[in-house]
Amino acid sequence: MSFLLLTVEQVETLHDLVLNPGELPGRARDKSLDGALARVDNRILYGMIEDVFDLAAAYAEAIAQGHCFNDANKRTAYRAMIVCLKLNGVLLTHDTEDTGQQIIRLAQGQIDAGAMADWLRARAG
């Protein structure tokens, strides 16, 4: 199965777009965005991504838990997830507040990418 994937540059752009005035721009010094996104590539390589929902959830998990940016990691994870779905032809019917709560659970390790993917599948429009 072939997917349109996100690049480091695209994720950085998404991050810049979600920043609010006064928040810290840029990447965290001790974290690697390349490394975080490589987790998604490895999941694809080892057959752990079966559909676009798995892919979008893997991006959200890698970014939210990777803490690669100085600020707005969860918002970047949310935006990357939505963009990934749109790039691959899926529109989500969702409440932004509810989705934000799911991203927080994902970032805190209360749910994993599999549970997030299931949540996304239930909201595909």
- Name residue, tokens 């721009």: 25
pLDDT digits (tens, 9 = 90+) for 89-118: 999 998 999 999 999 999 999 999 999 999
- Name residue, tokens 């991050």: 15
Q: Are 57 and 116 in contact (CB under 8 A)?
A: yes
pTM to 2 decimal places: 0.94
Chain-wide mean pLDDT for the chain? 94
The answer to whether residue 48 scores a pLDDT higher than 80 is yes
CATH number of 8-121: 1.20.120.1870
Q: What is the pLDDT of residue 10?
A: 97
Structural domain spans, the chain: 8-121
Confidence of residue 26 (pLDDT cuts 50, 70, 90): confident
Using DSSP, state whether 124 is helix, strand or coil.
strand
